[in-house]
Structure 1
Amino acid sequence: MTGPTGLAALEALPGALLVVDVQRSFADPDYLGAYGLDAAASASVVEAIAATAALVDEARGQGVPVVWIELGSEPGRPWRSSGWLRGGALDDPMGDEEPCIVGTRGAEWYGLEPAAGEIRVVKRGYSGFLGTDLDALLRAEGVEWVAVAGLTSECCVAATATDAVQLDYPVVIPVEATAAYDVRINDNALEQLALNVGRVVTSAELTSLFAASAPASAAARSTLSGKPVHA
């Protein structure tokens, strides 16, 4: 071997925390009735939101970029295949029950929110990279690895993390900072992500990585003074 492996290999590289879909439609208990969460799953979602918020604070404190990835459903652009998968016809219009419709409360961040100047990316599907400029924005920030947190582990977190590794970003997934609407599904998702996509770590391990990589993140960002705010 010619160099460090595992998390140690990332310590000298600039990283970023990607926060995925912690929006009312997916996180607020008032919106989750149709998903049929039991007590354990409900508790895990609450814990994941709190853990993600804590990691946001840690990343900000260390100068590690926090990037916000949010679903923005547009009634004029229905997602035909998704509607069909959930039992509708291909050409059915988007209903009011769709999650995260732009301009509604369902699309709002829940329990945490972007700060002024932090990058925000609006997506229409599962992955934060599909049909967006997320990759270009990360490259412009000098980011070389990503941590992916938020909701839900088997869906948008998995899709975003999978696209990240395929785009050659080493991926870290903090186990406490993601959840699904069924504990068994979350466990299975993390197992599959660990097998093929990223390193599943504790929040404490990720916090230590933020601290170790902070100088690299600061150096990368210092060359970008005057950059525009992306929203």
Structure 2
Amino acid sequence: MTALAERRLATLTGAAEKPALIVVDVQKSFGSPDYLADYGLTPEALVALDAAVGSIESIVASARSLGVAIVWVELASDPGNRWRASQWLREGDLEAPYSPGEPCVIGTEGAEWFRVAPAEGELRVRKRGYSGFLGTNLAEQLHARGITWVTVVGLTSECCVAATAEDAMQLDWPVVIPADATAAYDLRIHENAVEMLALNVAAIATVDEVVQLWREIEAAQ
């Protein structure tokens, strides 16, 4: 870890700090191998995805044990309110209806959580696009809870994790991303996403390093 990286993380451990964990799109459409056949994942990418979800399970458990606020951000695709620009990008047609393979359609099994799920009382935010902040009250909810910095995990690193992390940073929350608690469907894309996020958006860490920051805050209080 570089000296700059150490300074960034060290500033987040004071007694007045109040972190939150934002879990993005860990839903069956994005995490379950049963839903990913059309994405062409290599065996290595599937292993990395499985490991990332395991790390997410671990950091969620640690957050709960340490009293860190958890926010669950979930994609909720609505056939009655289609995301036309996304259809254009993927299908070349603004008016294309959702296909049977559309991810996370409201009320379908694909929209269900995968291997992790909110506990009673934990905040859930439903989104229509990539970022958990776009068109939602996530920013207001974080402000209301006095959150001072956020850790963002989930699926996938180059898309919804990146979009949510970038908006958090632009809205003035320091962002930490544990690279072992997110993944893409291609190892090269994940590596590139982490590099770009490190350059412009977030402090890159590991799950163990984030949990240690939370423990230091608990000890300081």
Same fold (TM over 0.5): yes
Q: Secondary structure at the match of 1:76?
A: helix
Amino acid at match of 2:13: E
Q: Deviation of residue 8 (structure 1)? A: 1.1
Q: Deviation of residue 82 (structure 1)? A: 0.5
Counterparts of residues 58-73 of structure 1 (less than 5 Å): 58-73=62-77
Q: Secondary structure at the match of 1:148?
A: strand
CA distance in 1 between counterparts of 2:188 and 2:218 reads: 35
1:125-148 CA-partner distances (Å, limit 9, x unpaired): 000000000000011111010000
Amino acid at match of 2:71: V
1:63-110 CA-partner distances (Å, limit 9, x unpaired): 000110000000000110101101241112222221000011000000
Q: Secondary structure at the match of 2:129?
A: coil
Aligned to 1:167: 171
Q: Secondary structure at the match of 1:5?
A: helix
CA distance in 2 between counterparts of 1:93 and 1:40 reads: 33
Q: If the length of structure 2 is used for normalisation, what is the TM-score? A: 0.94
CA distance in 2 between counterparts of 1:202 and 1:68 reads: 20
Ranges in structure 1 where 5+ consecutive residues have no aligned partner: 220-231
Please say which of residues 39-48 and 94-103 is displaced more in the overlay: 94-103
Match of 1:5 among 4, 7, 16: 7
Q: Secondary structure at the match of 1:66?
A: strand
Q: Does the CA contact (< 8 Å) of 1:100 and 1:107 recur in 2?
A: yes
Counterparts of residues 201-216 of structure 1 (less than 5 Å): 201-214=205-218
Q: Secondary structure at the match of 2:79?
A: coil
Q: Deviation of residue 182 (structure 1)? A: 0.2
Please say which of residues 4-13 and 81-90 is displaced more in the overlay: 4-13
Ranges in structure 2 where 5+ consecutive residues have no aligned partner: 1-5
Query: Is 1:128 matched with 2:139?
Result: no
CA distance in 1 between counterparts of 2:19 and 2:132 reads: 16
Q: Deviation of residue 195 (structure 1)? A: 0.4
Q: Structure 1 residues 215 and 167, CA, compared in 2 at 3 Å: closer, same or farther? A: farther
Q: If the length of structure 1 is used for normalisation, what is the TM-score? A: 0.90
Q: Secondary structure at the match of 2:91?
A: coil
- Aligned-CA RMSD value: 1.3
CA distance in 1 between counterparts of 2:124 and 2:219 reads: 23
Amino acid at match of 2:29: S
Aligned to 1:195: 199
Q: Deviation of residue 215 (structure 1)? A: 6.5
Aligned to 2:113: 109
Q: Secondary structure at the match of 1:86?
A: helix
Amino acid at match of 1:19: V
Amino acid at match of 2:69: P
Q: Secondary structure at the match of 2:11?
A: helix
Amino acid at match of 1:14: K
Aligned residues: 214
CA distance in 2 between counterparts of 1:91 and 1:213 reads: 50
CA distance in 2 between counterparts of 1:97 and 1:6 reads: 41
